[in-house]
A and B are shown apart, each in its own frame.
Chain A
Amino acid sequence: MSEHHHDHDHDHEHEHDDRPGEHGAPLTDVQLRVRALESLLVDKGLVDPKALDTLIDTYETKVGPRNGARVVAKAWVDPAFKQRLLTDSTAAIAELGFIGRQGEDMVVLENTPKVHNVVVCTLCSCYPWPVLGLPPVWYKSGPYRARTVIEPRGVLREFGVNLADDVEVRVWDSTAELRYLVLPERPKGSEGMTEDQLAELVTRDAMIGVAQVKAPAR
């Protein structure tokens, strides 16, 4: 947001404000407010601090885009799984053990040389947690939510995806309780790779639809 964004020394020891227009200013009000609200809820017996720690650990270290990458890699090497994944996505993903909140009703969208799918949530920030974890800031930001539906090719170009004019772009706005995962195209040059090696290539952004998967340079 700030023009000096890229000049900033991103020292993670230092808590900096990430609010637009106030970059760099100390942000004690919201820190204090969250702390006081948590204390209030704990004092009233409404939340258990140990449960909070478990929730944070779950979504910070256990659930994330590596799960989705396993799904994609398996679909690339196992045609029967891919078929199940495209026809009953929730059940196929559950075969790998990835189930839970914000992934109860999954739809997998296959990218092909002629169709490129990209996912957004214009109204809030709906995102398939069990396979991708919690969404990155840009996915929840004004620019992405505002622009993806009206100028998808411009947004994709910013992410380095330049599509030919004859490629159809399908934008999926997650306005209800379906959660979408993009099945990217398997990159050329990855023919000899194992499922585990393929999973390493798959990025979060490719599964949102703002990137393509690249084969490793040899």
Chain B
Amino acid sequence: MNGMHDLGGMHGFGPVNPERDEPVFHHEWERRAFAINLAAGFLGRWNIDMSRFAREHMPPGEYLTTTYYEHWLYGLERLLVQRGLVSARELQTLRAQGPGPLKALGPEDLPKALRNRRAARMEDHLATPRFKAGDRVRTKNLNPTTHTRLPRYARDKVGVIDRDHGVFIFADEHAVSGQKVPQHCYAVRFEGRELWGPDAGPRDAVYVDLFEPYLEPAS
């Protein structure tokens, strides 16, 4: 979706403001918001692409005036109801009306949940690559109302395949249906001037990781 989250190339934000000796969390509520997000995700009712898609629904004005963990909180509340862990009434009143459909993971379950899960990579034999390193490609001009990982600034642009990362779950489909559709994912190199025009630096390039369905051969 062409949401507020798709920030690449926007002007007007001002300087980046790094904080010296920044703590991992700034407030106790951030710690708790982070942890309930992870713990609820471990229940398996949604995947990471659904999480991102849920956060992208935050209205643009709100997105820009809230902090990162508030985006997470917004997405979590949306998913809890959508995916049937909490009823709309429970979320509204913030009072439990009965036990949930799944059992919480305890501390003893965490080491396994936190370890490598090969969450997104799929077996190489599941898809034949259409492109190889060095191929010129053009990104499609796509504007789905659903989740996509093709940023607006990289649509309808010509680039070169830098490398084939292998086969991964196609995020766009995964966010909507949960189906694991295998697709090759490539690092595609775009020259700065292809993306931004003559004012871009002549020795600047942007590499974007793109799924095969976003790409077509360029002549």
Contact = CB atoms under 8 A, between A and B. Distances in A.
Contacts of B201: 152-153, 169
A141 to B, nearest CB: 7
B218 interface: no
Interface string A48-61: 10111111101110
A104 B119 contact: yes
Most B CB atoms within 10 A — which of A104, A150, A153?
A150
Interface string B163-203: 00100110100000000000001010100000110001101
B204 A50 contact: no
Contacts of A133: 24
Contacts of A158: 15-16
Contacts of A155: 16
B90 A40 contact: yes
B204 A169 contact: yes
Interface residues of A, number: 85
Interface residues of B, number: 95
A145 B153 CA distance: 12
B86 interface: yes
Interface in A84-100: 94, 99-100
Nearest to A174: B209
A176 B185 contact: yes
Contacts of A30: 29, 70, 73
Given A31-B27, A48-B39, A51-B104, A146 B13 contact: yes
Given A137-B68, A147-B16, A176-B210, A105 B121 contact: yes
B140 interface: no
Nearest to A51: B107
Interface of B: 5-11, 13-19, 22-29, 31-36, 38-40, 43, 52, 55, 64-68, 70, 73, 76-77, 80, 85-86, 90-91, 94-96, 98-100, 102-107, 109-110, 114-121, 149-151, 153-154, 165, 168-169, 171, 185, 187, 189, 195-196, 200-201, 203-211
11 contacts: A19-B65, A20-B64, A20-B65, A51-B104, A55-B34, A59-B24, A122-B8, A125-B68, A137-B26, A152-B201, A169-B204
